[in-house]
Amino acid sequence: MMELAQHISGPKQQQGQNDKFEKLLETEWLLTNRRGGFASGTLCGCNTRRYHGLLTGTLAPPAKRVVALANCLETVITEEKQYNLNHFEFEPPSDEKPQMLPSSFRKDVGVHFDYAAGQFNLTKSVYLLPEDDITAIIYNFSDVQQKFEFIVRPFAAMRDYHSLARKSNNFYLEWQDEFLAVKNTDVPQSRLLFAADEMAFREDIQWWYNFLYRQEKLRGFDYTEDLWSPGYFRRTIDGPVKIVLWTGFGDSDISQKMTGLDADVIIDDLKLGQKHLLNNLKSKDTVVQSLAVSAEQFVIDRTIDNLKTKSILAGFPWFMDWGRDAFISLEGLLLCCGRYKDACSVLLNFAYHADEGMIANCFGDDKSGAHFNSIDASLWFIHAAFRYYKTSGDLQGFSSKLMPVVRWIIDSYQQGTKFGIKADNDGLITGGGIDTQLTWMDAKFDNIAFTPRHGKAVEVNALWYNAICNCAEFYRGRNVVMAEKFSNMADRIAHSFRSCFWYQQGQYLYDCVTDDFMDTSIRPNQIFAVSLPFSPLNNQQQQAVVSCVEKNLLTPFGLRTLAATDSKYIGRYEGGAKERDSAYHQGTVWPWLLGPFIEAYLKTNNYSRQSKNTCAVWLEPLIDHLRNDGCIGSISEIFDGDEPRKPRGAFAQAWSVAEVLRAYLLIHS
């Protein structure tokens, strides 16, 4: 439980209140469901992003997300005064100060905000149903000392989650059975439903203008929005009472799904689901359990030809499922949590959409289908498939369903496939051009690729070598001819890798090599030549790579994407889209890279107790971040390269959580 600001007054106390309010504005919470829907906000109830909302649903799960219910204004009216439990920011800014802030916050299967006032105590809780876009907002009043009025005014956005709403004539209100239905003609066939236990509704249609979202302003985007309110729910509070406000988003079936819902039953079901998740872990370590609960947020359902499969969303609030992210994350999110069936389902989901021997890089947010602009997603698929096989022991499933896809990818990469991807004469993989961004360092703005890494990229070929070695090992004892074929390929690739990438003068690996250029930039991509199960480097070279990365790139929150001594280094990820994209892989810190770095460090130190103790210290800042900073219960996508290294980007990122969990288990095994 986080202890937060108290309700205080007076000049000095008010300044302290304001400081704590600013901290609460920077700290976020997140609930997700298996449809790709979510609810999120800040700890003080003030939305700072267009993506914040008490209910964001999906029209074509997990795509086409709609912010349905943006927020609620919660007001207490006593005989002496009126004050709000939450606070909004508007443009132009006002001098209005927050009247009341939560005294504590905690997250389990829901999120809970405690308020302590002279007249009452209140716990406000938000729950999101796992299978439907339905939230329950529960107000539990206790220790009521005097009678007062409690009013909840909901604000509907009903727009695509990437956009912002403006006043229009498209909103209207109607009753659907016992539910209050809000509709927007711009979102046809869908509605936002309300039902309140123990509260009466009064129609009072209003537009509220120019809500300000400070994070959007900092990111250089449009940052004001108009929201529509149908009226308000009201109740006289004269003793202990629990009020439930139900909200649901969807088509005509949503009213049937909301009929007869019982909050206590929903909460018990959520707790039972989490208990089942934790039982699969076979670990009582609270850090492992917290990371496993966080991991669950990214695992979603996808339906393919009427068959339900699993996928992994890359991050919240704005990412869809990306192939590269899914397969880097798969071991930590699923295999480390004993979820072998779900891991296989994710692999088969992406395999189904493969084209020309390539795994999809991502699926369109507007359900536009698969996109394939990635040179490494297919190789990460192979790595994840073999990790699945070795962890689960599912020889039959791997051999019949996954190994044919692995062979298809390898054959396609040898012979040549999309984007000029092919094996060169030396057996190494090359691909792309000056205008492409095929590796994970893929930031591009106005057709400018800020980190052009066409040709032979070091981590791509480390993955390629690892894939061939895995095949050789798999066929050993099963097929002599194939085992020899892949073994000979691996020997050739290893020799070519050392000749191509080893920078003798610097004692580390070139980042990228073309026919006429060898990139000596010190980047973290070289660490995969050590961390992956099979390394093409000798022991001395492996130790030199780890030492170089530790000296030049290691920070408390992950690895920098470029050494701070480099002239191209950018230490802060801030400004408009172009400025942020230019910094994305030019010094910005990525937590997920700490996973492979820790694995490489442990390998080169023979997994000694001393090396594990060292790695545990390196991991601690991200564990603290998980508990107390950024988005409570998750790990951010990136951090600034320079101190104080503020969290940036998506506030909850799948591979950040996955690799921290995997690294933690490596240390504590």
pLDDT score, position 15: 52
Q: Which tokens in the block code for residue 554?
A: 């290691």
pLDDT score, position 7: 33
pLDDT at residue 91 greater than cutoff 90: yes
- Give the pLDDT mean for 319-323: 96
Architecture of 2-273 per CATH? Distorted Sandwich (2.70)
Surface-to-core class of residue 541, CB atoms within 10 Å of its CB (0-12 exposed, 13-18 middle, 19+ buried): buried
- Give the pLDDT mean for 561-575: 97
> Cα–Cα distance between 345 and 307 in angstroms, integer?
11
> Cα–Cα distance between 221 and 85 in angstroms, integer?
28
Banded model confidence at residue 16, pLDDT cuts 50, 70, 90: low
pLDDT score, position 17: 63
The answer to whether 299 touches 34, Cβ cutoff 8 Å, is yes
Give the pLDDT confidence of 422-462 residue by residue, as tens digits: 999 999 999 999 888 999 999 989 888 899 999 999 999 99
The answer to whether 557 touches 591, Cβ cutoff 8 Å, is yes
pLDDT at residue 370 greater than cutoff 90: no
pLDDT at residue 226 greater than cutoff 60: yes
Give the pLDDT confidence of 389-401 residue by residue, as tens digits: 999 999 999 999 9
Per-domain residue ranges for the chain?
2-273, 280-393, 556-669
pLDDT score, position 669: 86
**Tokens 């920011």 sit on residue:** 89
Closest by CA to 61, choosing from 122, 130, 144, 162, is 130
**Tokens 């990306």 sit on residue:** 322
Taking each helix axis from N to C end, the angle separating 263-279 and 286-296, rounded to the nearest 10 degrees, works out to 120
Give the pLDDT confidence of 534-546 residue by residue, as tens digits: 999 999 999 999 9
Percent of the chain predicted with pLDDT > 70:
97
Q: What is the residue-averaged pLDDT of the chain? A: 94
DSSP string of 213-250? -HHHHHTTS--EEEEEEEEEEEEEE-S-EEEEEEEEEE
> Cα–Cα distance between 138 and 497 in angstroms, integer?
59
Q: Which tokens in the block code for residue 457?
A: 């990229």
pLDDT at residue 527 greater than cutoff 60: yes
Cis peptide before 556 (omega within 30 of 0): no
